[in-house]
Chain A
Amino acid sequence: MNTLPSNDNEVLVRVENVGKIFCRDFKKSLLYGVSDAVHEFLPFVGGKKIDECGEVILRPSEFWANKDISFEVRRGECLGLIGRNGAGKTTLLRMLNGLIKPDFGFIEARGRIGAIIALGAGFNHILTGRENVYVNGSLLGLSKSEIDAKIDDIIDFAEIEEFIDSPVQSYSSGMQVRLGFAVATAMEPDVLILDEVLAVGDAAFRSKCLKRIGKISRNSAILFVSHDQGHIARICDKVLYLEKGRPSFFGNKDEGLKKYHDVITKEGIASAPPELHDRVTSFRVCSPEEGLFVKTGGPIEIDFEIESGEEIANESCNFFFVDHQRVLAGHADFSKQLRSIPKGKSLITIKIAAVDLAGGPYQVNVQIFAKGGRELLVHAFGCARLNVAGPHRLWCGYRLPVAGVEVQLRQE
């Protein structure tokens, strides 16, 4: 294989107007599958119906898992696929890898394809790691001697020397993905399909992977799925943003990431009514519908209203900020500042001096305890939204500095 960055214009993946239909109802789905397969054998039996305009007519319970998707990836380019869970990213990758057939349009892929899809890493669980390397290599079209030449590098990269001759079923998921990644990238694929590979594996391996991807991307076309916007921003040139299976944006990565970011900010995160203890009659965070806005590092005040039939002493109040992946990003503890809740309805303003959170949407969760933490008075999940404007994933404060609390009694 030529390792020089050859011909920049060479299109390695071409996807034109691709659509894929899935079915919500499992039993119907099986029958449709039979009908489609029989239709290929006997064109007059079963299959999908097409209307006058050439559009496929959906059967009951069917929906488009992918629709109207077109793009090209050239050698030396890296395309990032972004979108919420269930947006059709993995479906698209499975079609690109030839596992399933498109129902509309066509896909053309040139050269060797290396793929890691749905975290499977593509291994046979009973074979040993070494046997799997040879099997995968031969599937990718490498001869035994070519694999012999690469195997040490693969084992070295995957950091699994002691385990290479044990069956893959005894590997941890991180080890499997490491070996899978090492194999897929060592084969010098022309097209590399990576589905959430970096979600498993520790930080050290992740950075090693990113380095390897960067090296390979000069010579291959890469399709990369990740929920981590930081990784997409770092290694991709272009992004395809899928929304409910349809392309919502295709092009420059900064623009695409911004759009994705805006959408998840607007959608926010699902909230539930607060769970209250008997001693608290009402709890409400007074925040605008679209959420609170703050710049990274800026101060913020959050008002909430609480009503109680009696004074509650020895109380502690905590605010938690979770990001759109529900990962705890920041925490502010007001137990020293807010020692008691007065009787009646009161408006309490909490102040945080610096919101050291990376840019993005957050959900605010509030927990108020009494009796030194043994009694949960209020548990409000997603009671407010916070939008932080700032750089992606540069730093993330865990404990946010508390600036103070104001309590006003409201008489009604």
Chain B
Amino acid sequence: MMQSEHLIIRRYSPQPLLSRPGIMFREMFGDLWKGGELAWRLFLRDVSAQYRQSYLGYVWAFLPPLISSLTFVFLNSQGLFNIPGTGLPYAAFAMIGTLLWQVFVDALNAPVNSLIQSKSMLAKINFPREAILVAGFAMVFFNFLVRLVLLAGVLVCFHVKPDSGLLFFPIAILGLILCGAACGLAVAPLGALFGDIGRAIPLITSFWMLLTPVVYPARTTGLAAWLATWNPVSPLVIVARNSLTGESLLPLGPFFFVFFASFLVLILGWIGFRIAMPHLIARMGG
């Protein structure tokens, strides 16, 4: 009997997880800790595998934001539309914006992609499911670090001089990742079941980008102003960019509101993810 005292007891029943919140939270953080090693190995695998079958390699991390910002730079340079009040050369403004936006989009896509990629592993092995999420977010961060090189290049080229606001930049990036992760995790269980979600996300995000002051500065009047206030990503993008360009970190209040709201949604999404997992595995099969 001595030995049995030390054994972990697992209990599986149809009882809802939420009916025992204490145990649920203990298991959540326990699994997050236990999954660390696996997450690290999955991350290393993804990093080395990501660009293995390609010639351009890490250039692919730069290309999507670079191309989409160049589109706007071109349109702007030809006078097809004129965007006043950027405070710095438009090309620098647009590139910084799209690079920051890409962080958000990557974090948004990470949970669904991780789930779909690990389908067969999920169906066959019991492991802390958090590991695949953590590995996915680590990948987002890694890709951001790669793009940081491009970002630094843009700052140097256009003689953009950050001031002490630069210290706030890491927090702003964390905010973008948090917000993207929260949105992504909230739809991830559905996305793993229904292909519709995976198809809809790129459409929605490309439209969402135009509704966010990414390639234009926040307006003070009209619909664009309303969107700059009520679009949760707006304060994140604005603060992140201003922290680089040395302008005032003005919408700090909304920024922290979105920051903490994202954190809450992320925790809720995590609980939802844990609840949904066994149902998902039963339905999506091997």
Contacts and interface: CB of A to CB of B under 8 A. Distances in A.
B53 interface: no
Nearest to B40: A135
Interface stretch (B61-69, B75-83, B186-194, B247-255): B186-194
Question: Which 5 A-B pairs rank lowest in CB-CB distance, beginning with the nearest?
Answer: A120-B124, A106-B13, A33-B283, A111-B7, A122-B125
Contacts of A115: 125-126
A126 B34 contact: no
Interface in B7-66: 7-18, 34, 37-38, 41-42, 45, 49
Contacts of B14: 101-106
A39 to B, nearest CB: 8
9 contacts: A32-B283, A41-B275, A99-B122, A99-B123, A99-B281, A108-B10, A109-B10, A113-B10, A122-B124
A100 B278 contact: yes
Given A120-B125, A139-B127, 7 more contacts: A7-B4, A33-B282, A37-B279, A101-B12, A111-B7, A118-B124, A135-B38
B125 A29 contact: no
Nearest to A35: B279
A228 interface: no
Contact of B3 (A2, A32, A104, A141): A2
A143 to B, nearest CB: 10
Nearest to A138: B37
Contacts of B194: 30
Nearest to B273: A37
Contacts of B286: 118, 120
B1 interface: yes
B120 interface: yes
A166 interface: no
A118 B128 CA distance: 20
B281 to A, nearest CB: 5
A113 B281 CA distance: 19
A100 B123 CA distance: 9
Contacts of B3: 2, 6-7, 10
B276 interface: yes
Contact of A33 (B42, B122, B124, B280): B280
Contacts of A139: 34, 38, 125-128
The dominant DSSP class at the A interface is mixed
A141 B120 CA distance: 22
B43 to A, nearest CB: 12
Given A103-B14, A127-B41, A139-B34, A37 B189 contact: yes
Nearest to A100: B282
A39 B279 CA distance: 11
Contacts, number: 137
A33 B275 contact: no
Contacts of B1: 7, 10
Interface in B242-286: 272, 275-276, 278-283, 286
B9 A113 contact: no
B121 A124 contact: yes
A151 B146 CA distance: 36
B121 A107 contact: no
Contacts of B120: 120
A98 B279 contact: no
A173 to B, nearest CB: 14
Interface in B102-134: 120-128
Nearest to B46: A126
A188 interface: no
Nearest to B35: A139
A122 B126 CA distance: 9
A113 B8 CA distance: 10
B42 A101 contact: no
Contact of B9 (A100, A109, A122, A131): A109
A6 B3 CA distance: 8
A95 interface: yes
A200 B9 CA distance: 32
A41 B272 contact: yes
B201 to A, nearest CB: 18
A40 B275 contact: yes
Contacts of A107: 11-13
Interface in A76-97: 95-97
Contacts of A36: 279
A105 B15 CA distance: 9
Interface in A1-34: 2, 6-7, 10, 12, 20, 22, 29-30, 32-34
A103 B121 CA distance: 23
B18 A40 contact: yes
A54 interface: no
B118 to A, nearest CB: 8
A27 to B, nearest CB: 10
Contacts of B11: 106-108
A117 to B, nearest CB: 5
User: Which of A39, A95, A99 has the largest count of B CB atoms less than 10 A from its CB?
Assistant: A99
Nearest to B8: A111
Nearest to B4: A10
Interface in A339-389: none
Nearest to A23: B283
Contacts of A109: 9-10, 12
A101 B278 contact: yes
A137 to B, nearest CB: 9
B34 A95 contact: no
